[in-house]
Amino acid sequence: MSWLLALFLSCGGAGDFECSEEKACAFGAVCVEGQCQTQACATSDQCPIEQFCNADRSCQPGCAEDSDCLFGDLCDTETATCESRECTDTRIDCAYGEFCNAAGECYEAAGYYCRECEDDNDCGGNGNYCLSGYCGVSCQSDSDCPSGYDCLPLTDLSGTVVTYQCWTYCWLYE
């Protein structure tokens, strides 16, 4: 009698449902409308970069948050796409020889930076010097210089600072 009751409950109670609140699916699967479905992901950490784990538990191209994007990109959550972050710091965000402007864009520095020269006349005046075959550009601080350059003091033989020049080891960047 008890055997028949168990059989009845099994058929009538659970129906064709493979899983329920009481009957969990195997590890790695979720219960969707009574059926166990293997999930591709539980969190975005299980998806490739520039993809995220959506509500259906599958990896989808795009992003849900910044950590789904490459370093330097941010997630536009409205479009679920990774976008390049605007620059905020010349030295950190821009490539060699570029400045970061107020619009958050890196742009190539115009001027005589690291232009090859034979004497100061090749460097456009304005206090620019020809140093070791490459032009320096007059500056007052590092922030006057593009990425990769330092505002370095130039001294005379007595050690007195004559000028400050944006300069670097130009030959290394050629």
Q: Contact positions toward other proteins, by CB under 8 A?
A: 44-45, 47-49, 67-68, 70-72, 85, 87, 89, 91-96, 106, 141-143, 147-148, 150-151, 168-169, 172-173
For 132, the token pair is 């070791």
Q: Dump strand ranges (E) for the chain.
A: 29-32, 35-38, 51-53, 59-61, 73-76, 81-84, 98-100, 106-108, 130-131, 134-135, 137-138, 150-155, 161-167
User: Beta strand pairing status for 137-138 and 134-135?
Assistant: unpaired
CB of 174 to other proteins, least distance (A): 11
* Beta carbon nearer to other proteins, 6 or 92: 92
Which of 143, 137, 131 minimizes the C-alpha distance to 169? 131
* Beta carbon nearer to other proteins, 35 or 143: 143
* Beta carbon nearer to other proteins, 72 or 133: 72
CB of 112 to other proteins, least distance (A): 19
CB of 99 to other proteins, least distance (A): 13
CB of 16 to other proteins, least distance (A): 36
